[in-house]
Chains A and B, each alone.
Chain A
């Protein structure tokens, strides 16, 4: 019998028919039935809350349960074993090609409400915080002037020495709009409105004006999914700008970034800027990841327990840039390396 045929589910009105025919059941047959009923064999069963259906056929919930559990496990195994072009991956791409516009519609429709709640949240900024921000702004203005001078100097020297700059300068940059927010509590993955039709591929870095955002992990014709650096599956090869110490920035379920593998005797301090190191083959060197905000007081470890805060406000991101050909190229990266940075399964 087909699992969802109207016969299997019974027919409307059978509850009333049961009552009219003097059925001894205290519950309606819609609800799966309780009490004693006559089964197919014509005998009454004490386990009828599990067995009978409206037409008297056995419902066999344990049989269905067993079959579907086995099927679920088989699907999970198949998914883990098959390649990106396998049937399950193809089905997922097809499903997501259909659902992505719906997701985008939801994000668009609810944007005013989200902006309103964000605005309410901002009302809580205190006078002292405001004063601190004003001071910081003055300081940053001075830094901008200073850095602009340095940038002009760098441009001149680069031209003179004909040295190709690292980072994003060599990459083709594609602007993209965020059309979907994380759809599950356990993953921090956003959806962009650019896909293979725009030249987007797997494992391409995504940045915002404040720094690194994440990497593309799934690409369809009209969409791409980006795993944020704050996702617990994400890992970025990193470099502390001041001390040049190398480590790995790892996301977490809470959204905090942890900087791992920095030796305990390294001179990292709160406020140090953390950049991508260019190692690992995905992210180009020199992209801003964030700054060190906390050093846990634990002397019993080999590595410093460091917490990094990204400058990017992931809750309010609207537009990002995809680095299409960021050096070094990632097209030929082996599967284990892709998995190490959270790309692929």
Chain B
């Protein structure tokens, strides 16, 4: 399968998981963001350009299935996809522990950008309370999902790439 096909399938699978299983898997008010996890992993495997484009599309889809303003998550995931791609190209090491940790940081940053945007757009909420009670647990939740998804997605997205080889080595 080509890169376009595997990326599209990954994105659609993440959207399906988000719509079908996201709401029921809410824990203490925190809903998992499968689309964000997919964007960061795609950016890790494919680099910053693909991460940026996929981030924009995934963010727009997230906004469209939600109920608040359309656009903030598109911006947040565009930036996240770009930064995750850059981080991967700059500091990637063998194994999956570092990528998953970086994914946690990237998802926290993404939630932070989203919060800034929706707060600026007038959604009434305490920024720091939301950061502590939603964004931080959300990032930990994303890391938990990534532990399961990272090996599967890297294998699916990039057979033969350094990311996939290193991940598989570390799991053996």
Is B65 an interface position by the 8 A CB rule? yes
**A253-B129 contact in complex given A9-B3, A59-B47, A61-B48, C-beta closer than 8 Å:** yes
CA distance A138 to B69 in the complex (A): 49
Instruction: Write the A175-188 contact mask toward B (1 if CB under 8 angstroms, else 0).
Output: 00000111111110
Quick one: which of B31, B68, B130 contacts A253, CB cutoff 8 A? B130
Quick one: which of A28, A34, A103, A254 contacts B23, CB cutoff 8 A? A103
- Asked if B123 contacts A185 (CB within 8 A), the reply is no
- Asked if A106 contacts B20 (CB within 8 A), the reply is yes
Instruction: Write the B131-162 contact mask toward A (1 if CB under 8 angstroms, else 0).
Output: 00110001000000000000000000011111
Is A21 an interface position by the 8 A CB rule? no
Quick one: which of A10, A31, A99, A254 contacts B19, CB cutoff 8 A? A99
**A72-B71 contact in complex given A15-B160, A65-B52, A99-B65, C-beta closer than 8 Å:** yes
Q: Which residue of A lies closest to B71 (CB)?
A: A76
Instruction: Write the B21-41 contact mask toward A (1 if CB under 8 angstroms, else 0).
Output: 111111001110000000000
**A186-B125 contact in complex given A12-B159, A99-B19, C-beta closer than 8 Å:** yes
**A218-B71 contact in complex given A4-B7, A9-B4, A31-B47, C-beta closer than 8 Å:** no
CA distance A204 to B55 in the complex (A): 36
Q: Which residues from chain A sit less than 8 Å from chain B, CB to CB?
A: 3-6, 8-13, 15-16, 27-28, 30-34, 49-50, 53, 59-61, 64-65, 68-69, 71-73, 75-80, 88, 91-92, 95-96, 99, 102-103, 105-107, 109-110, 113-114, 180-187, 189, 217-218, 225, 227, 232-233, 253-255, 345
* Subset of 24 A-B contacts with CB under 8 Å: A12-B2, A13-B160, A16-B160, A31-B92, A31-B162, A32-B88, A33-B89, A53-B49, A65-B79, A69-B75, A72-B59, A72-B78, A73-B71, A76-B71, A88-B70, A99-B19, A106-B23, A110-B24, A183-B66, A184-B66, A186-B134, A225-B67, A253-B133, A345-B68
